Amino acid sequence: MPKALLLENIHPFAAESLRNHGFEVETMKGALSEDELIDALDGVDLLGVRSKTNVTAKVVAARPNLTAVGCFCIGTNQVDLTAAGKQGIAVFNAPYSNTRSVVELVICDIICLMRRIPAHTHHIKQGMWDKSASGSHEVRGKTLGIIGYGNIGSQLSVLAEALGMRVVFYDLEEKLALGNAARCNTLNELLEQSDAVTLHVDGRKSNTGFFGEDQFAHMKQGAIFINLSRGFVADLDALKRHLDSGHLAGAAVDVFPVEPKKSGDPFHTPLAGEDNMILTPHIGGSTLEAQEAIGHFVAQRLEDYVEKGSTSLSVNVPQLNLGPHTGVARIAHLHENLPGVLARVNHVLGDENINISAQSLATEGELGYVVTDVATMPSDATLDKLAHLDGTIRMRIVR
């Protein structure tokens, strides 16, 4: 029976689904360190993680027999995708399933900060009655600057306009503007006109420290800042300086440069003492609806890979969207993207007079993936030849 290990309190639906597909499933609430993960992966075929567990090159090298990794979240920067691909370990994620949850939290943060709800809440808890409109604003008519106009940024754009906000955005890639949103040619152009600035950039290493002292300095007087993207993107010390000086009117931060491994662990941030501040523990996508959708989506990708060889929506191996096999068996062959591999696969099968029922090939970058349905089960000798063809990374039978 194949074994799956699900970490970080992944939604129970994923475990239930995998068990229904014949997997032995072990679940754990917290994240694991590198060495702990290597030990835990002994005999494991499928690994499920969220954002805290790092699947490094060391982990991949120590457990090369791992079949696939499911990232039950949007990002995959916690996995060394290149190292995994070179070992034939397919990686899947859920790029869209929690989009709405993140967008709704951003809208909530914008309204609360504009109305100074965090500050008023703090004052009244301290026994101070401060009934004043000073510094409080409607969001209608204000300008929202969205940095990163992908799945989340574009949906946020639509909802913000429905609230009566004017939307501008900045993205390095060419993106279709939705509604009346206007594209800015430079980041500073966006910062200088936005009453609220929200970050929605991805987790690539080049975005480390992307938003720092210079960017905060270019923001409008009295603007608010929101980061629900990645903790390493924004300089929180610079943010604190601009809040303390009165330059910025408030901020909401959901992600931090260093975060605890599991719920209940202590956490400290110098931003905790700020007046009009919303601090949340990386819960942008943490709604029951989103987590169930992610559990369903990623579990299905893992099941399809194991049972059909389908790599649809994988982030590190060539993509083939496959249905049930049409022959006696299916041979999935992941290899280096070298000329002639397909011909050599077919030559080996032809030497045993094995008829091919169907065949699909995809290549991407340094990898190639060919899936062959055969009318006769190959002998062990033929399978051994396929597994040792030049450039072979991984060969497996999908029955």
- Among candidate residues 230, 325, 335, 344, the one labeled active-site is 230
DSSP 90: E
Assign 203 a pLDDT band (cuts: 50, 70, 90).
confident
Check pLDDT > 90 for residue 205.
Answer: no
**Domain extents in the chain:** 1-97+287-317, 99-279, 318-399
Do the two domains 1-97+287-317 and 99-279 of this chain adopt the same fold? Answer: yes
Strands across the sheet containing 329-336: 356-364, 367-374, 329-336, 392-398
C-alpha–C-alpha distance, residues 55 and 36, integer Å: 11
Question: Catalytic: 364?
Answer: no
Beta pairing class for 166-170 and 143-147: parallel
Question: In the prediction, which pLDDT does 262 show?
Answer: 80
pLDDT (mean) for 291-300: 96
Question: What pLDDT is attached to residue 21?
Answer: 95
pLDDT, tens digit, 9 for 90 and up, residues 10-35: 999 999 999 999 999 999 988 999 99
- Paired tokens of 140: 């209608």
Which candidate in 183, 241, 242, 282 is catalytic? 282
Kindly state the greatest CA–CA separation across the chain: 87
- Domain 1-97+287-317 fold is Rossmann fold (3.40.50)
To the query of whether residue 218 is one of the catalytic residues in this protein, the response is: no
Tokens of 4: 């799956």
The verdict on whether 230 is a catalytic residue reads yes
Mean pLDDT of 238-264: 94
The gap from C-alpha 296 to its chain's centroid, in whole angstroms, comes to 15
Topology (CATH level 3) of domain 318-399: Alpha-Beta Plaits (3.30.70)
Instruction: Give CATH superfamily name and number for 99-279.
Output: NAD(P)-binding Rossmann-like Domain (3.40.50.720)
Instruction: Tell me the pLDDT tens digit for each residue of 147-181.
Output: 999 999 999 999 999 999 999 999 999 999 999 99
Beta carbons of 283 and 254 less than 8 angstroms apart = yes
CA neighbor of 275 nearest in space, from 134, 156, 138: 134
Q: CB–CB of 210/233 below 8 Å?
A: yes
- Helix %, strand %, coil % of the chain (to 5): 35, 20, 45
Strand order in the sheet with 68-71: 24-27, 3-6, 46-49, 68-71, 90-92
Separation of CA 152 from chain center? 12
Q: What is the pTM of this model?
A: 0.84
Q: Point out the catalytic residue in the list 16, 24, 161, 259.
A: 259
